[in-house]
Amino acid sequence: MKKIFFTLLAAALCMPMMAVGLRQKKADKDTNEFRYEIECAGNAIQGTYLVKVWSYSKKAAIAENQCRKNAVHGVIFKGYGGGQGCVSQRPLANNPGAEAQNQEYFKSFFANGGEFQKYASIMEGTTETVKVGKEYKIGVVVSVRKDDLRKALEAAGIIRGLSSGF
Selected residue with higher pLDDT from 16 and 149: 149
Q: Per-residue pLDDT for 108 more than 90?
A: yes
Sort 29 into a burial class: Cβ within 10 Å, 0-12 / 13-18 / 19+.
exposed
Average of per-residue pLDDT across 97-125: 93
Q: Per-residue pLDDT for 87 more than 90?
A: no
Task: Classify residue 15: in a domain, yes or no.
Answer: no
Average of per-residue pLDDT across 7-36: 57
| Containing structural domain, residue 126 | 34-155
Average of per-residue pLDDT across 13-30: 53
Task: Classify residue 25: in a domain, yes or no.
Answer: no
Sequence-distant (≥ 6) Cβ neighbours of residue 157 within 8 angstroms: none
Selected residue with higher pLDDT from 56 and 84: 56
Task: Classify residue 76: in a domain, yes or no.
Answer: yes
Task: Classify residue 142: in a domain, yes or no.
Answer: yes
d(CA 94, CA 56): 26
Task: Classify residue 65: in a domain, yes or no.
Answer: yes
- Reported as a pLDDT band with limits 50, 70 and 90, residue 75 is very high
Task: Classify residue 145: in a domain, yes or no.
Answer: yes
Average of per-residue pLDDT across 98-125: 93
What's the number of domains the chain is made of? 1
Average pLDDT across the chain, whole number: 83
pLDDT score at 40: 93
pLDDT score at 32: 55
pLDDT score at 147: 96
Task: Give the amino acid at 26.
Answer: K
Q: Per-residue pLDDT for 31 more than 80?
A: no
Task: Classify residue 57: in a domain, yes or no.
Answer: yes
The share of the chain scoring above pLDDT 90, in percent, equals 54
Q: Per-residue pLDDT for 93 more than 90?
A: yes
CB 149 within 8 A of CB 117: no
Sequence-distant (≥ 6) Cβ neighbours of residue 141 within 8 angstroms: 41, 50, 51, 52, 122, 123, 126
